[in-house]
Structure 1
């Protein structure tokens, strides 16, 4: 008999907003404390402990502190890399955690063109196997070639960070055929942010929702404790740190929308909640910036909310037709620029074509989003002669 915890998709460092990053870490702390309280034999983390292979130093310091608690409680942790904290070079801060004696990466394989033979990590008569997630689902083809180096008489656990066919639904992404997986007693999955179980194949869900939409649908994080001594060994643990208050508002008039949204908020109890504002609609002869979002957010925070997030992805200005007569349809872009420049005189008009070229550059392989954005900004500032 064995009792273990199955976590996945912690994504430490994933939130840019400080208060949300704090909640993410508090959810991880809750899971760690619950594992210690329940005296589990070991913990599985099935990928994406971190949101990147190189998380910020503050995130690392706090994470090491939690792993130290587990080490003092004599609870071993077994991990695999996920699609976010996986590194092609094989070097990431997961290695630092392992070198420090805080966890064990169970990925150990002999790889040939025909097959990937996974070797087990043995712990108290249990054989743990694992294969990491990769960027863009590149692990899916590899997993079809996986075989397990046998460990007779032992309970087998296979850890994978990928998309299983049973959980994919209508998503247009590659997936692993569950019928072709090697035989195991428990499959510890990560990657898809849902709480899902099919027989002995489990996705525990994320430790904390990782974006606006996940906060709407999930509200909080989850993980599992598996106790083989129980008739139903699968126990879902909910991590509820803060309540979520969601508002979905359709607006037509930007100038009256501010007061309308605040009036709706007055009818809600916002104290210590994460407030989600989803604002949509089609504005005629107005811009989304005509809505005073700062006033709305100030009202929410003054009402005692923990934090407020807004989503205006579906808030649009009504399309209007450009009354342009294009003489040369082969050079549409240049004609539009000329027409615009003649109607909107500016010292920047001479830079339009070069600015278009700058904004068309692509992110280089291995370049982070922040570095790419900074490069775009620097090039644009240089062109426009901004300090």
Structure 2
């Protein structure tokens, strides 16, 4: 069984883009350098490593709770692990793995020296050959499968590096995991001089910040980061562009899900349609961002995990009350905020502007 690719970065191998005004990016191809990169193909990145933990029921339970996956196959005496947990059993944690092969580090170091100093994960692909059960001991090997020629993407110019990991239980191949990153030189963007569109910048939530902003000269903030749009979630972002919040619905079992997925995690059905959210929700959990600072944002600001009236949850900024007054259980209402001519995002405005300390449950 093969899993749909999971895009986790804003770049696609082979993608070529044109740049608008205010963007400068020089591209030159060094054929000798590319031959040096190609020489790493087929070299090991990891050899005969063992998973730090056997497949086990507590990790399966935590995964299913986090993902909202209630498939009965993942619980009980004859439980199997969700196939998409494949990579979980190979993770090294903060301390990492011992016995690391040097070829992968050498390759990344070579790219760093050539100026490709930034990195973004772009996608992964998994193939499941046998179910994993509690007690299975995982061993794995990893190889540098390919290094692309120089590519130009929306992020910059660089090289895609793909590794393939083979996972085994005893002598049996249990699955493969391909992981691709882009090592790139970021696009150099020239300073923009035009005024930001009126009414499109989020106003600070604190009165002191508002007063300070009204007395200061206009600032030209960098553009807000764009969401990663891929073939699985493109319909969601098209709905947002049209000011509609669309939720996937499985046409087999009727289950609603978010984020968008190629198949239903409850019944496995692959067919789906959408329903439009009514826009009512409550804060299920939240964080207040103070650090690290990002130039496109004005900390402190609240980011909430919002539970919609329809039952699904999604993340977005919480507006309408000072960030230190956001509480779990706070009722919110959907709004669409336009940040510039190209970017519209769903945000959540508090419907109880007089939220007081201790009014809502803490989680």
- Rg larger in structure: 1
TM band (smaller chain)? under 0.3
TM-score (norm 1): 0.21
More strand by share: 2
TM-score (norm 2): 0.22
More helix by share: 1
